[in-house]
Amino acid sequence: MGKFIRGEVVVLPFPFSDLSNSKRCPALVLADLPGDDIILCQITSQHSDDSFSLTLTQTDFISGSLPFDSYIRPNRIFTADKNIIIRKAGMISNVKMQNVISIIHDIIK
């Protein structure tokens, strides 16, 4: 699918916890690494009492969208192979991306 940019929202298959199947879910691009790896942050439509969670609404996008208001989970970071990305869903604003980076920084400092 080519190059990815920090702040893009992508859709990829997420396995169920028992690995019996998977569902398509959005994720936020944090970094496009050399080779086939990409660092992503979980996005979910399910509200959580997680203190790190950030709301993601249509107004947070500078292009594209998600079908539902969602939550970015900066404490749920993972690496995936770029080849499993199904599609790009949009790009979030620089302000929202800086909020995500700030929370990640607070978590790991």
Domains of the chain: 8-108 (2.30.30.110)
Query: How far apart, in whole angstroms, are the C-alpha atoms of residue 86 and residue 10?
Result: 7
**pLDDT (average), residues 101-109:** 96
State how far the Cα of 23 lies from the Cα of 12, in Å rounded to an integer: 8
- The pLDDT tens digits for 40-60 are 999 999 988 889 999 999 999
Sheet of 8-15, strands arranged across: 54-56, 70-81, 37-44, 22-32, 8-15, 87-92, 61-64
3-state secondary structure of 5: coil
- Check residue 1 and give its pLDDT: 63
pTM over 0.85: yes
Report in angstroms the alpha-carbon separations of 16 from 3, 25, 29, 67, 92.
27, 11, 21, 21, 27
- Amino acid, single-letter form, for residue 50: D
